[in-house]
Structures are given as structure tokens and as C-alpha cells.
Chain A
């Protein structure tokens, strides 16, 4: 049994408002082991922590129970406090009487009663706590960035800048991501390529950075500081180190009618291609689904014209194994599919386009060389309707679309409208919106310029239906302010489509054992205080994989993630989580059941000799847990029939003691 101090926090009125803290501390004083009790306004404050430290010293406490907010909030704080008082940090238990008590219960009587029970459970548990010491593991001083968009690029550059090697894995043949497809950027209207491509070149030239383009992460094992990653480098049938990117092969390739992904299918590319002029790495890639040589062995033109001899039709997918200390996820976003949005006639008319397609249409390197021509007949559109919130902010029950706000649409739509009016003043531009959201530096000013200086017609209301009729698009919409139905004959309709996480994110999350929200955005370790870390140690989040973001936000998060990675990689050793499984060898019968359920492969078996009562030795197969690999989930503890496997910090006896205390 411990000598326990009980510290009840008022949390101002957050707890004290619904829980009689005095009554709680009084009720807990007779619990077994309790030798000191008090309550205080803010236990987490320095003054509060000092109370704990003093009490530990004065009363020789061996265990601490803090009745306060969630352990997810301040467990770490109070563990540090305990350490400062000379106590093992794991001799602290928190009774969550705020989030799970005072904040959810209304009346003082039941709140207080529950707080007392939660306190008793924590006391019962701490009575069985044992001092724990974290194990140490080395740190591999190399980072992996998954995704080569602006987020990944920025993260990689910052990490490399600090002197650590970084690998970028990008599924596309080039890095650059979505930003490379953009024309201008809000609110400054500078050209996206002009600010992005120098960074891409920096990446290419940085000797700390390796780019695995046209590659995917195949398998991730290990844990923080010691990830073991297999990267699949897909065969591009071009020797990357030899190809000069001259483009001769592309020019001569007879397969000309392959939809060009970079321009979102609005024009064509060849079977061998370089996505765009400033691609990094600037090497050609053969599309195996389109190349005749690869499909039926007939052609071989590119190989003939390549003076460098870089073409290699026999190339195979290559698997690279590398160890990393940290992994940054920067898998970005995609516009959602418009298949379910028949009302906008996206699939019926070429002249209903998404905003990203609009970017390509106005981009000088795009399919129309920057001239605003409508895709169907390459005529200049005179009436353009922009529709916002297509698939964003949908009702929770809606069968299509997303509940969340995609965040970037208001601003880019304002940008598009403004640019159209600027270049083609004869064009009428309507923007249909639910709300216009412009929080951000110089954002609202930008939007107001679109309305006030450029005469963009903003109409609060929804577009009900778009119907192609002849060469016009009949747009039926409501004007909520005027309270009337509108019928607009438009030449071009641009949809501000909701964005969603890239499809590769979910399998990746599974590999990383990182958690995701219901929309497949990666969950951060703490929404406010740890926004760039995943709850899985050693995994960091950069860019839109964590939530919709514009470029400045993405870049700042990318740098933040980089700084977290650097903070990790500068360490030589990591202290592990001491709350891990361990097998009682005297009870283990070596049946392998626990190893079968361990997600980390942390359990192995050895033959060990045990002294018998008659002084002979008996060899038995027993389980051993690798403390550096075990993450402490406890799956093995339940799989183990005999209870030989137990979890430190969450021992069966401790959980049973909590159950007993609660049910008493």
C-alpha cells in the first residue's frame, strides 16, 4: 500500500461549480492509503504544483491522486510535478472530475458523488502502482516525407536545412503537387509557378534530400525513432539518373491521345511524358497502360531517339528499404468527385468545370495557353457563373458531399472572378455563395476589391440546377437577399468543389497506426496544442492531409512539422513509454497466443531453464517482450489465458481495483 496524497482541483469554477470539492477531499481521506488530502483552485498552476511537491516531502507520499481535468490534459504536468518532488512520475493517477464529471453533470449532489467515486477508483489504482522507468531506444537521424506537394517540399527543405537527411516519396512522376497546377495565388496574385518552382529546384539540388518520385510507401514497421519503411519505386521505364529531360522522346512518341492528368484531362499527352516543363525530377516517364512497346512490343521509338540511352523497357518496380527516425505525412488533398452532383451537369457539359480546371484554363502553360476559352468550342465565354460550396458544408445526413467547409474556395473564387474581370472586362461574372468567409491577412480586402473594384456580382443563394441548352448553360438559382428566382444563361459554370484527403491517406494511416477522423483527415495529437503531430509518436502532419488549408497555412504547418521532426532527430536516444507488457515467466507456458495478437511483433520466445523444487532444471518456452517495440495496447494481456502477460501501468489488478472501487 502507498502513502497517498489526494489533491482536488477546483479548476476555478469549472469543477467547483458542479462538484463540492471540499466534500470530495473529505470523503477521500479515509480511503486506504490516503495520508494527506487538500483542495486548491488550480492544481496545475505553479502554486498548485508546489502544494503537491511540499506534501510529498512533508508526508513522505509515495503516491499521488489528482482529481482534476482529463489526464489527457495534465497527466504529463503532474507526472513532472511528481518527478520534481523526487517521486517516480508513474506514481500519479488522475481522477477526471472535469471533462467526465463537472462538465457533463448538472447538479451538485450527483456530480460530487461521482467525483468521490472517481477519486476512490484513482486511489485504488495508485495503491497498486509501481514505479516505472522508461526504456531507451536509439534514433535514426533521417526523416521521411510522404507527399511532394508544397507541404512536403517545405518540410523537407526545413529538415534538410537543419542538417538531417530527408527522403520525399511522391506518387506522381514529379513533385510540386496541387500548387504546381495553380495559376495565381491569393491574395497577392503572384504566379504560383514563380514561387513554387524555385523551391522545387532547391529540393532537387539539396544533397540532404532524396526524391523518390513515382513511388509509394509499401510497408511501415517499427516505431518512433526506428521506423523501418519499404518504398516501392514504380518502374518508369526510364533510367532516372541518365535521362536529361531533353524531351526528344516525348516529341517522337506516336501515342498522342493520352489524357493529360496535369491539365486535368483538358488536353493530351504522349505515352512517354514529362508532366510539365519545370518538373522535378525532370525525367520522362512511360505510361505502361498507354505504351505500345510495353503492351505488345511494337514501337520502340523513344528508345531509338534517346541519345542518352535512358529508355529501359525491362525496368521493374524497385523496393527500397530505409530506416527513419520520423515520418511526415503530407499527402494533401483532391477535389471530390462530381459524379453524385447531377444538378450541376458536370458530366453532361464540358463547359461546367471545377475551379482547379479553371486554374489550368487561365494558366499560360495550360491547354489554352492562358486564354480563357470555354472547353466545348474554344469560344470566349461572356457570362461566367461561379458556384461556391459545391459539396462543402452539406448537412450531416446528406448522401453526398462533406459536412465541413473546404476553407479555400471563397478566396480562390474571388481570385478567379477578379482575374476574369481584369483580363476580360466584357465578361459578366456571377458568384453564388452561402457565406463568404474571408478570415486571413488581407483576405477580406481582397474579396471586397473583387466586388467593389472589379464588379463581380456576388449573389447570396444556391444554384438549383444547371441545364445545357444549345451552346448555353441555363443556370437556375435563387437570390436569397432579393428573394427571387434567377435564370442565367451562362457560357461557363465554374464549381468550387469541396476538397477531401487524398485516397492514399487511409491505407497509409493504417500502416502508420495513426488515427483519422471520419472524413479521413489525419487526427492531430491535440487540436490546439499539438496540431502538427499525429497521436502516433514520430508521425507528423503537414498540409491538407490534416484539414483544408491554403498555401500560407500549409507552409507554416510544414515548417512547424519540420521543427518538430528536427526536435526529435537531434536526440540521440528516445525514452520509451514504460507502460508496456511484460510476461511473468513463471506462469508463461509459451503457447504463442500473445505473439499472434501483437500488432508490433514485439513478442518472441526463448527456451529458458527454471529450477524445479527437486533442484533439477526444467526447460520451458517462455515469452519475452521487446520493450522498445511494445506500444502497450494490452491485446496480449487478454489473449493470455493464464494472465502471465500483464501491462505495466494498466495491470489487471489495477483495473480490477478500479472496477471494485467504482462498484462499491
Chain B
């Protein structure tokens, strides 16, 4: 599926490492199977050649790692960024989360990343090999000698199926061709829920949130969640909580989590990707994004470095809270 070959990325990174232009490379490392790719810092070109991967399972957004990894290095860190990752990159820069000078950002075009769960649902469990083809995958399982052909479009990660932009908004160097900002249907699902009655919405979210196990994966993977200490971990915050003890705690955590990233969330979709319980967390973030767009004008967090987030801004003519629902009805 991916148009840019692994070797293009590899040679770029290896050359810069060997030339001493960067001290390390932040990329994706090979796993046990074709699909279990782990973000990894490579320090030598030998390591890169052995373990670096760029395939259809590199969904992980590497930008958040820059916060901690740049602190540990004296020199520069080369990072590979997909289009959506560059939005997070900008947003982190806006919030002074790492030093721009310490990063060499290499933009990589992306054709969308695959969701292993969807793939397994179509191809079956017991996967022994996955071959990427032009249109998707050829999957072999231990249960069948013949490979199963799966269309790439059918197994895209949610965030890729509703990709907002194939354009990189920040980089030092671009490999391959630049893409466009897309007209996505990413708010369709939000609208579907908005169209429900209040009771239906409540039931819908109770169903979803009740699965939450408060593993904090959504928070810990989120590039907008970079607090030194999260309110939910801080015994003095009044919100500390370790378990979804009651349905209130589930709602509290997810409302506040989404609120804290409102106006800052770039819609990178990592929260939903990593949720072990498949809770559509992106819908909460997108609800805020949609509302912000409707109430205060289009705003895409991370599109521009240094832009003023909607919640730290205002106009004298802003919508009154009581008019929120009238506006939505329009």
C-alpha cells in the first residue's frame, strides 16, 4: 500500500546517522509478526538496517516521543512523520514541548495504515504471514494454505479511513510527493450521535464507556497529554482516580480528558487506535473539534505552529452558552 519504499527512508536515515548529522533516529522497529511494529530509537545504521520498518502497520504517531527523547540527546534526532503526525508535531512545538533545533523532521507520505483487528476479522486468526500488495494484503494463516486477499481500504485504521489531510504541515525534508488537505467525513459519526435523542445518546455512551478499564493508554499515547503530572494521577487535584469505579468516574475521566485537549487535539486518532476496549474515544475529541468549528470558525490544531487555541481565545461576539443548542440545530 505505501508508495514510498522502506529503503528510501532507511537510506536517508542511515546516511544522516553515518554522516553524524543526527545522533539518533526515531522510527518504527520490526516485531515478532508483520504487524506488531514498535516505535524505536536507532543509534547506528546497522541497527537501522536490521530492524527498521516502514510498512502498513506504522500507525503509531512518533511525535510525542520527541518530548522525552530529545531531552536525552545532545545532538539531533531524526524523526519520521506521517502527515497526521506533523500536526501533532506543530502542536507540541506551539506548547514548547521540545526544542525544534534538536529535531530533523523527515516527512513521509502515507497511504493509510492498517488496523490489525480488522485484518484479523477478515483474514482469520493464526496469521503466519502478511504480504503487502498494491491494493491491500495477502494474508496466510496456519489454518489454510491458500492466502486470503484483503483490500487495504477495508482494513484501514479509523483515523486513516477518515483521514483529514495527506499534507505535511511541518518538516525539514519531504520524501516523495506532497499530498492535499482532504474533505473527510470525519464528523459523520458525531452527527449521527447528535441526531439521537438524549436518552439514546446516554445509552450509547454508557455502553461504550462502561467497557473502559482505565488503563490510561488513550491518555498516555496522546500527543496533547504531556502534563508533568496528570490531574487523574494527582492526589491533590480532587480528581485522582485509578479505576472506573462507577459510571460517573468513567464519564468524568473521558469528559475531562477530552476537555483538556479541546482546541489542542489534532485528531491524530491515536486514542482510539490504542484503546484495548475499542471505545470510540475520537468521537469525544471530534465533538469538540466540530463544535469549535461551528461556534468559533474553522480551526485545525497543529495546522500552524504558534496558532492560538480556541479555548485561550475569544471574540466579543462569541456565541452565548444558551445558544449552543440553537446553533447546533441549524
Contact = CB atoms under 8 A, between A and B. Distances in A.
Direct contact of A and B (CB under 8 A): yes
Interface of A: 586-593, 596-597, 605, 618, 620-621, 639, 641-644, 652-653, 656
Given A587-B227, A588-B228, A593 B237 contact: no
Given A641-B260, A643-B234, A652-B238, A591 B96 contact: yes
A588 B228 CA distance: 6
B97 A589 contact: yes
B309 A593 contact: yes
Interface in B221-261: 226-231, 234, 236-238, 260
Nearest to B67: A589
B312 A618 contact: no
Contacts of B96: 590-592, 605, 621
- Taking residues whose C-beta sits less than 8 angstroms from the other chain, chain B's interface range is 20 to 34
Scoring A588, A643, A656 by chain B CB atoms within 10 A of each residue's CB, the highest score goes to A643
Given A592-B95, A621-B96, A652-B237, A597 B227 contact: no
Contacts of B227: 587, 589, 641-642, 644
Contact of B229 (A587, A596, A597, A639): A587
A641 B309 contact: no
A586 B228 CA distance: 8
Contacts of B238: 652-653, 656
A143 B184 CA distance: 59
13 contacts: A587-B227, A589-B228, A591-B96, A591-B97, A592-B96, A593-B312, A597-B312, A639-B311, A642-B227, A642-B228, A642-B230, A643-B237, A653-B236
B60 to A, nearest CB: 22
Interface of B: 71, 94-97, 226-231, 234, 236-238, 260, 308-309, 311-313
B164 to A, nearest CB: 23
A618 B71 CA distance: 8
Contact of B308 (A596, A639, A653): A596
Given A653-B236, A656-B238, A593 B308 contact: no
A644 B311 CA distance: 18
Scoring A592, A593, A597, A621 by chain B CB atoms within 10 A of each residue's CB, the highest score goes to A593
Given A596-B309, A652-B238, A587 B228 contact: yes
A596 B314 CA distance: 11
Contacts, number: 55
A295 B238 CA distance: 66
Nearest to A621: B96
B4 to A, nearest CB: 33
Contacts of A653: 236, 238
Contacts of A642: 227-231, 234
B327 to A, nearest CB: 23
A592 B92 CA distance: 11
Nearest to B256: A641
Contacts of B308: 596
Contacts of B228: 586-589, 620, 642, 644
Contacts of A596: 308-309, 312-313
A641 B236 CA distance: 14
Nearest to A657: B238
Contacts of A590: 96
Contacts of A605: 96
A161 to B, nearest CB: 41
Contact of B226 (A589, A592, A618): A589
Nearest to B308: A596
A660 to B, nearest CB: 9
A664 to B, nearest CB: 15
A573 B96 CA distance: 37
Contacts of A597: 312
- A-B pairs, top 6 by smallest CB distance, nearest first, are A642-B227, A596-B312, A591-B95, A656-B238, A641-B260, A587-B229
Contacts of A589: 95, 97, 226-228
Contacts of A643: 231, 234, 236-237
B305 to A, nearest CB: 12
A301 B238 CA distance: 76
A586 B236 CA distance: 13
Scoring B94, B95, B228, B308 by chain A CB atoms within 10 A of each residue's CB, the highest score goes to B228
Nearest to A620: B228
Contacts of B97: 589, 591
A641 B238 CA distance: 13
B95 to A, nearest CB: 4
A501 to B, nearest CB: 19
Contacts of B237: 643, 652
Nearest to A639: B312
B263 to A, nearest CB: 10
Contacts of B231: 641-643
B203 to A, nearest CB: 26
Given A587-B227, A596-B309, A644-B228, 7 more contacts: A589-B97, A597-B312, A620-B228, A639-B312, A643-B231, A644-B227, A652-B237
Nearest to B311: A639
A592 B95 CA distance: 6
A591 B229 CA distance: 13
A196 to B, nearest CB: 38
Nearest to A610: B228
A641 B230 CA distance: 8
B184 to A, nearest CB: 27
A644 B236 CA distance: 11
Contacts of A621: 96
